[in-house]
């Protein structure tokens, strides 16, 4: 139980409110960086100075879109819990600046014949430098002030079983914590006085209404797996009428982690919830396919441009073949063939037994390790995207042999085959590769969250966060 309950619920921020605040703050920081860049750029513009002629002759129209571009580059850091970590924030901000500078310089030197007034280096350099500083100052304020305890929502958990243990462990693992947990209520008198994940069981559900004003409780998380007593249900309704926000444990789990708690799901969950909630409109399917075709064409172009260099590196490192083909399980389990750059030595699975890729896999070649970390080995799969075997965004495509193994050990694993596999995906950007059954369970939780909540905006967010993952060399 907290010794310092917050005096007001007015400034207790929900996850979505924090995300909105983050984006607004980043945008204001970028606008400030734009203003500083224009002032300092104008001061070096010979006789023009900060004048109308300077804006007409030196500043191209696209320059004013840089704050919006900065938000796109920062998409990876717009994950509320990651944004609460100073080290990750610094890394994300500098990575965004490096990616922006890299792509701009590539465009600048590619269009060498263009008038340099249309591609100014000095103005962009000032913008990046100033915006990085302003963004870091804003993020430091956000972390030190807006993640303090007085801005956290205060919650009570109803139930002290496995579901409560799961959600409380998730809350404890997040830094900063999304809630201040006041305590736990359970109608089993034998559990009163015990602790679950470090939080005390304070009493039964009948104590909830008196706890609300005394501890300034804003949220009630219902973590009851079995049947709920009628009096408990009535107490929850009364708490809701008094302003408390009632959230079921699976919903809270999804909102906090972006995952589905498959260990706690009922056997009929697929039919009762998943299939109904994962239906999507024909418009979404149409726009997703259009996005796949557009992205696939760009991916093929990139593949053609860098193919000679990656092929030469592979040949010098480990010889032929440069590419290899493999069978994967697609939508509804239908097999299809993919092409990849070869990253393993020849006869890496001479015994014919499929194996997981692991960190610093001894089967990988020197060039192959880099290709896997940067995900460049997957560029040929854009051909599969154009053919319709795959999508830009979806669960990672697995080999049929591994799918059979996972289906025996991981609940609901077959559900990930309800959609096309993707080159990138929600699980890939949030978790990466899995090398054990336990890691496969966690990764599946991300995949099922994507399938259940998929929409065009979620697809775009995954695509925007993917370059940071590639530049961060997070592959295996």
Higher-scoring residue by pLDDT: 111, 182: 182
Measuring CA to CA, how many Å separate 20 from each of 28, 80, 85? 12, 10, 17
pLDDT of 282 reads: 78
Length of the chain: 476
The maximal CA–CA distance of the chain, rounded, in angstroms, is 83
CA 244, distance to chain mean position in Å, is 29
* Residue recorded with tokens 């009762």: 272
pLDDT of 115 reads: 58
SS3 19: helix
- With cut-offs at 50, 70 and 90, classify the pLDDT of residue 453: confident
* pLDDT tens-digit series, residues 353-372: 666 665 566 778 888 888 88
CB 234 within 8 A of CB 246: no
CA 55, distance to chain mean position in Å, is 39
- End-to-end CA separation in angstroms for the chain: 43
- With cut-offs at 50, 70 and 90, classify the pLDDT of residue 48: low
pLDDT of 1 reads: 43
pLDDT of residue 3 exceeding 50: no
Query: Which token pair is 448?
Result: 């099922």
Higher-scoring residue by pLDDT: 274, 22: 22
So where are the chain's domains?
Answer: 15-146, 152-257, 282-346+356-471
The CATH homologous superfamily for domain 152-257 is NAD(P)-binding Rossmann-like Domain (3.40.50.720)
- Distance, in Å, from the CA atom of 22 to the CA atom of 138, rounded to the nearest integer, reads 9
CB 202 within 8 A of CB 136: no
- With cut-offs at 50, 70 and 90, classify the pLDDT of residue 6: very low
CB 386 within 8 A of CB 297: yes
Angle between helices 456-471 and 437-453 (to 10 degrees): 140
CB 375 within 8 A of CB 469: yes
Q: Which residues contact 363 (CB under 8 A, 6 or more apart)?
A: 344, 345, 348
pLDDT of residue 140 exceeding 80: yes
* pLDDT tens-digit series, residues 231-279: 899 999 999 999 899 999 989 999 889 998 887 766 555 555 556 555 6
pTM: 0.83
* pLDDT tens-digit series, residues 164-193: 999 999 999 887 788 899 999 998 889 998
| DSSP conformation class of 448 | H
pLDDT of 318 reads: 83
Measuring CA to CA, how many Å separate 281 from each of 284, 287, 308, 448, 455? 5, 10, 41, 18, 9
CA 284, distance to chain mean position in Å, is 21
Overall average pLDDT of the 309-323 stretch:
89
């Amino acid at each position: 139980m907290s010794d310092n309950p917050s005096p007001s619920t007015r400034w207790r921020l929900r996850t979505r409110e924090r995300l909105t605040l983050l984006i607004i703050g980043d945008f204001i920081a970028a606008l400030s960086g734009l203003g500083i860049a224009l002032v300092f750029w104008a001061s070096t513009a010979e006789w023009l100075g900060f004048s109308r002629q300077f804006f007409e002759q030196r500043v191209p129209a696209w320059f004013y879109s840089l704050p919006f571009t900065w938000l796109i580059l920062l998409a990876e850091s717009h994950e509320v819990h990651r944004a609460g970590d100073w080290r990750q924030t610094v890394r994300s901000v500098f990575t965004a600046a490096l990616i922006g500078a890299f792509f701009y310089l590539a465009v600048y030197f590619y269009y060498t014949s263009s008038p340099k007034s249309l591609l100014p280096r000095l103005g962009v350099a000032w913008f990046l430098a100033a915006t990085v500083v302003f963004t870091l100052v804003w993020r430091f304020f956000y972390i030190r002030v807006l993640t303090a305890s007085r801005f956290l929502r205060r919650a009570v958990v109803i139930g002290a079983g496995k579901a409560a243990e799961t959600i409380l462990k998730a809350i404890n693992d997040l830094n900063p914590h999304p809630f201040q947990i006041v305590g736990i209520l359970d109608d089993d008198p034998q559990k009163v006085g015990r602790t679950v994940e470090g939080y005390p069981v304070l009493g039964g559900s009948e104590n909830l209404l008196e706890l609300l004003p005394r501890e300034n409780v804003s949220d009630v998380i219902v973590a009851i797996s079995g049947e709920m007593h009628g009096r408990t249900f009535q107490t929850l309704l009364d708490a809701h009428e008094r302003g408390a926000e009632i959230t079921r444990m699976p919903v809270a789990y999804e909102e906090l982690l972006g995952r589905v708690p498959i260990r706690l799901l009922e056997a009929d969950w697929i039919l009762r919830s998943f299939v109904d909630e994962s239906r999507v409109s024909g418009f979404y399917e149409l726009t997703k396919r259009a996005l796949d075709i557009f992205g696939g064409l760009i991916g093929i172009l990139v593949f053609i441009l860098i193919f000679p260099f990656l092929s030469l590196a592979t040949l010098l490192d480990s010889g032929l073949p440069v590419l290899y083909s493999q069978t994967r399980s697609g939508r509804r389990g239908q097999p299809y063939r993919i092409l990849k750059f070869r990253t393993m030595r020849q006869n890496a699975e001479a015994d014919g037994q499929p194996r997981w890729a692991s960190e610093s896999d001894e089967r990988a070649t020197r060039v192959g390790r880099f290709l896997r970390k940067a995900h460049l080995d997957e560029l040929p799969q854009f051909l599969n995207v154009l053919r319709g075997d795959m999508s830009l965004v979806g669960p990672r495509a697995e080999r049929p042999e591994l799918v059979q193994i996972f289906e025996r050990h991981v609940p609901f694993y077959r559900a990930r085959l309800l959609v096309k596999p993707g080159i990138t995906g929600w699980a890939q950007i949030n978790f990466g590769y899995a090398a054990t059954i336990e890691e496969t369970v966690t990764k599946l939780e991300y995949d099922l969250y994507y399938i259940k909540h998929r929409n065009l905006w979620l697809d775009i967010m995954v695509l925007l966060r993917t370059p940071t993952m590639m530049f961060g060399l997070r592959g295996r």
